[in-house]
Chain A
């Protein structure tokens, strides 16, 4: 039974709230055409370009260029934080005031596209720049393009070259058996060989799942595929490392704190491509002495988890042509290079491999070269719900006695229930 405006009015018996709730589902009412001339006043919601530097970058440089190209469009910027992006989007959607152009994380496109909250982009945007095919996968739903990447963050393994040399290890591990052996060998004197846990457990397990040749969901997003042996093995691998003593869950470091490879407490760790910038600020000597190396995790196949920030367009924009122009402009090489440099992220275009930023930042360079191995989370309309369940459901297998098999099975049940609710 569909609650319409009138029945809610009766239920609540108060004009304002009824109007408020009734307004919830009316996002698509006044959308105009995207084909006309780009003009009008639009709003951009962004969790990036933070601080005075980011503001200068966005409003002076990027939007300055945009204004020259589209003098009839006025852009109002609504800055938020990543942590509160959901709240901003939720309230905006409920109030029928979703910003014309907004930025989202990887994995968010299918849920929003499935509910028609965001509008599809012309396919020609996909070939406007030199994208690696995989880079645009998280931007697609049902074959259509809905978003363009602004900045990417990848999950890679960073290791201490000096620890490796000291232990006489010549090459980086090419599969899990080697990884486990190397980790064990490097574990000594209170130092752990490998720290997979200082990134979000969800993303860590996903990277291992993909490296093990596994998949999260079927192509249509309706079936759970991670419950097979490959998903269980990925989780079991963490348990094996812990049993070996070469990984310790409690020794993970908090976001922004000096990481275990920086302090030398671990010889290898799962980390984000943004670590390079952090090391440059916190422990610049490590870069100067060339002590840090990086490689892409591999078992049955190499896999690098690709996250990041995508720019998309609301389906209810009153000035869709202007919104579309802004989406396009924010994803041009010039715009994304500035954004990537500000936050140490990967600019996801092959055209930019020769830029000085990519050449100087070795983690970003490796990520850009390995884009063919990139995998992304999401892929189902129920992703918003499932993504929240992964860490709390898998953690008991790591800190407690639960078996990897049971934890994965439980996660599978929760994911199926979530998909069933769609």
Chain B
């Protein structure tokens, strides 16, 4: 029962206008039940995270403590926030994540569009290169990338040959530029642009629109879900980035939220209550962002239906 429901996007769409139009069927109940179970499985670790963030270290360590905290220690949150300048860290993370998202959406969608819709010399090869670029592990890239940042010519006291100073190290450039465009996003956009009907493009071309306008005005509005997806994923991975910001910065004023959270993972093991409180707070903006972002998802969905 559930399976037939699962495979019926068309039918579901028809049912959308009438709010309560769909009668409650066995299949629907089964679908809700399955989804509820799946969602619970996904959420359990977070529930534990939040509950732990409200316990005392003694209670966390206790063998026979219940799942719920005995006393709800909301003070953990205040104490955790006091452990490091989290306001600065959060602001920095936000600036970096926002810049990454903006740059990635614009630059990668342009590239994705060109690779999907325009056949030019070398386009095939370039596409393969982007896929290949995806395959390089972080720990292989990180040292050479660090060296490029450090020996960046004419920056941070460096001469034309990158010697003498410290390049982009400990600057916003190092935090923002290297991770600004991802091959992942280029690849994703390309796959979405591939899927659009050719008529749109042809009609626009007959109207005398230039290629850039066709990309910006005609085609890109059609891939709103992809824009949202890339934006969400870019923001999220940038917000959660830890290693790179730690490596290229030295000043506390340029450090990011994940580096701040690492304060609670001491050599002698994590300070669970603070770590979980801090992580909960750091996750919250992402959850809110997703809740907002998915509204645009639905919007893209609705406008596509009108056309």
Contacts and interface: CB of A to CB of B under 8 A. Distances in A.
Tell whether any CB of A sits under 8 Å from a CB of B in the complex.
Answer: yes
Interface of A: 15-17, 19-21, 23-24, 43, 47-48, 50-53, 76, 78-84, 87-88, 90-91, 94-97, 254-258, 262-263, 272, 274, 277-278, 281-284, 343-344
Given A43-B250, A87-B247, A344-B268, A258 B61 contact: yes
Interface in B243-277: 243, 246-247, 250-252, 262-272
Contacts of A82: 267
8 contacts: A21-B147, A23-B151, A76-B251, A80-B246, A88-B246, A96-B150, A257-B269, A258-B61
Nearest to B63: A263
A50 to B, nearest CB: 5
A191 to B, nearest CB: 13
A52 B84 contact: yes
Given A20-B150, A76-B251, A79-B252, A52 B268 contact: no
Contacts of B153: 15-16, 19
A272 B268 contact: yes
Contacts of A51: 83-84, 263-264
B152 A283 contact: no
Given A256-B269, A278-B268, 13 more contacts: A16-B148, A16-B151, A19-B153, A19-B163, A20-B148, A43-B250, A50-B266, A51-B84, A87-B247, A88-B247, A91-B142, A256-B266, A257-B61
A80 B242 CA distance: 11
Contact of A254 (B147, B166, B269): B269
Nearest to A258: B61
A386 to B, nearest CB: 21
Nearest to A91: B146
A278 B61 CA distance: 10
Contact of B58 (A15, A43, A254, A284): A284
Contacts of B272: 256
Interface of B: 57-58, 60-63, 82-84, 142-144, 146-148, 150-153, 161-163, 166, 169, 243, 246-247, 250-252, 262-272
A255 B268 contact: yes
A278 B267 contact: no
A95 B151 contact: yes
Nearest to A81: B262
Nearest to B152: A16
A295 to B, nearest CB: 21
B137 to A, nearest CB: 14
Nearest to B270: A256
Interface centre among B60, B267, B271 (most CB of A within 10 A): B267
Contact of B265 (A52, A83, A97): A83
A303 to B, nearest CB: 22
Given A23-B147, A87-B247, A274 B60 contact: no
Contacts of A47: 267
Nearest to A284: B58
Contacts of A16: 148, 151-153, 162
A274 B265 contact: no
A43 B250 CA distance: 9
A23 B246 CA distance: 21
A258 to B, nearest CB: 4
A283 B147 contact: no
Nearest to A282: B61
B263 A95 contact: no
Ranked nearest first, the 10 interchain pairs of A and B with the lowest CB-CB distance are A256-B269, A20-B147, A282-B61, A255-B269, A258-B61, A95-B150, A19-B162, A78-B250, A20-B151, A91-B146
A52 B246 CA distance: 17
Interface centre among B60, B61, B152 (most CB of A within 10 A): B61
A17 B144 contact: yes
Given A23-B151, A51-B83, A52-B82, A87 B243 contact: yes
